[in-house]
Amino acid sequence: MQQFLFKVGRENFLMIHLGMVPVIGATGEPKTKPCQHSVKLLREAGLKPDLLMCRSEVPVDEATRRKLSLFCQVAPEHVISMHDVSNLYQVPLLLAEQNVGSIICNHLGLSASRVARSLSFGCQKDAETMPTQRLADWKVLSDRTDSYTGNVTIALVGKYMGNPDAYASVVKALQHAALEVNLHLKLEWVDSSMLEPNAQQQEPKKYEAAWSALKSAQGVLVPGGFGTRGIEGKVATAGYCRAAKKPYLGICVGLQTAVIEFARSELGWEGANSTEFDEATPHPVVEFLPEASSTVMGGTMRLGSRATIIRDPQSLACKLYGGKPVIYERHRHRYEVTASCVPAFEAKGLHFTGQDDRAQRMELCELRDHPFFVACQFHPEFQSRPAKPGPLFLGLVLAATGQLEKRLEADGGVLKVGAGFQKAC
């Protein structure tokens, strides 16, 4: 860091130091020694903090600020209170209240209006007012987090239940969607292997609990995954949601298991499967990517952002994506729906409404006679944001709470994602 500071110059270098200011004892007296000591060690390394962020349970008072300013040699206005707040979304507002943005711009010689213009993303309104407007929008989001009007229960049916962080992006995307409709997300974690028939014999209590959680949820999501373990449980999940008219969103393998279930139940293709799970299946409705290597796994996935053409403007997928004929979502898969099977699926009611730009790969499918049965080959969770949730996640939450049709009607027939948070533009 010293070398970098010397290279770019003090005017192009800003150091923010996060220090702890604990509150000890019944008196609630803040202790500055931990913060002072950490700054001392930093200075011994030849570095001096420009901003001192004070992590504390309670707001740092003026007396404590002055003390830290004196002993850490940081301007009083550069001593920032980073106390506990009721939700994470309040942190940017807390920083804005203490003029952190202006302090950074002034130190680095940046024009606030220039920074605002670079962040306007084509917004036609005056860039000078953008920061204030965006903070106002963010405050709406923050306030909504503390004032839920109800709950929505979604069953997440996966195989990596030992480490829920495996589905961190999916959970965040569901939270973003629930937040937009002012609901608190309640997740039911369901191990897909506990939904399989053999689990009924081996672990009957877990089997009953898993099915009870699935049936009691308002909506169901099957996320991506690899390998054979728990696959038949995911197939059973798709079948239950299809028959029971329960809102269902399948992602990646969640699409593939929905296709497998439909082939078995509606087309009568006994033993239909993916070649990933059964290489000898008589009906390979999901197959290995033709351009990939079946022996060398490294670098063989179809990865990254790719175009999906929504070929039916009347489809639910098109409505969820705001009527856009082309969307871009991120991919990560080695297997895909067998294109030659698509006509048979569509003849029975499973419509592939989204395809790649060559109309060879199936990207989206849905059932028309179902409140919400949508599955995608891509991973929409990666582009979901707090103030702009992924359209498919928002659609699932709305359908799970019986609000989808009303919301589409209010939005003019197509879903306007994040409309409640985007007043700036």
| Pair of tokens at residue 160 | 């990596």
Contact 421, 180 (CB under 8 A): yes
The two three-digit tokens of residue 42, written as one number = 């930093």
The whole-angstrom separation of Cα 255 and Cα 72 is 57
Does 381 qualify as catalytic in the annotation?
A: yes
Per the structure block, which two tokens stand in for 97?
């209240």
182: left (phi over 0), alpha (psi -120 to 50) or beta: left
Calculate the dihedral angle through the C-alpha atoms of 154, 160, 162, 167, rounding to the nearest 10 degrees.
-60
Q: Of 420, 412, 372, 375, whose CA–CA distance to 396 is shortest?
A: 372
Beta carbons of 367 and 242 less than 8 angstroms apart: yes
Active site (annotated) includes residue 252 = yes
CA gap 82, 215 in Å, rounded: 43
Joined together, the tokens standing for residue 374 give: 């949508």
The residue annotated as part of the active site, out of 35, 72, 252, 341, is: 252
Rounded CA-CA distance 418/408 in Å is 13
Catalytic-residue membership of 276: no
CA distance to 83, 159, 163, 192, 311, per residue, from 229 (Å): 45, 7, 16, 8, 34
Which entry of 176, 283, 370, 379 is annotated as an active-site residue? 379
CA dist., res. 376 & res. 391, Å (int): 12
Pairing status of strand 79-83 against strand 51-56: parallel
Residues known to be catalytic: 252, 379, 381
